[in-house]
Amino acid sequence: MAAVFFDLDGTLLDTVPDIQSALNRALADCGFSPVSYEETVSYVGNGARRLVERAAPAGDHEKLLALFAAYYNASESVLTLPYAGMQELLAWLKARGVKLAVVTNKLQPSTEKLMARFYPGIFDFIGGDDGSFPCKPDPSLTRYAALTMRVPLGKSIFVGDGETDVVTALNAGMVPVSVLWGYRKREVLEAAGARRFARDPQELREILSELL
């Protein structure tokens, strides 16, 4: 295998508390009730537009999206934390000469800010939603990342916590590996086609060792 691609939310970082905070500020501005942590967890995974659509089905989604993006992109993400063991795992992969990419449905400005803060200098490609490509599970951004890094998709792994990541990997002809510390349950991932599961970064390292 030549490269490992990573999802961000629920895989590299626990971001939901800050997403919930920005979303509830946007909802309050538009006269809607706040959403709970559990509701926010169920809404994330398909990009900011789907997030606000799920949070307020009858709302002005363009206004909500603009407000959420403004609040979240300006946030210092003080509630966001890396998952224990992931920094060491990435350093191990980097030392082996494996190409590393982030492909996420998170807004691009927030993606770049979070990677610079928590994983500086680690990734060869950092791709979020800047409007250039459809969101996952469409594989277009993933294919673009592979072209940019000059790695074959058939020799790449996609690591993520969501069913969206599994389907993205399969759509792109990659090997999906699902982590169980994120925002989706195992049965949801299995229904999407996942067959390899890691309960913690050490188990993920063992799986990647076998595949690499």
- C-alpha distances (whole Å) from 183 to each of 39, 40, 43, 162, 203 are 11, 10, 10, 7, 18
Q: Which amino acid is at 98?
A: V
Single-letter amino acid code for the residue at 184 = R
Strand-pairing partners, residue 9, are: 13
Return d(Cα 119, Cα 111) in angstroms, integer: 11
- 130 catalytic, yes or no? no
Burial class (CB in 10 A: 0-12, 13-18, 19+), 33: exposed
Omega before 137 within 30 of 0, i.e. cis: yes
Report the C-alpha gap between 84 and 125 in whole angstroms.
22
Q: How far is the C-alpha of 10 from the C-alpha of 183, rounded, in Å?
A: 6
Which residues are known to be catalytic? Answer: 7
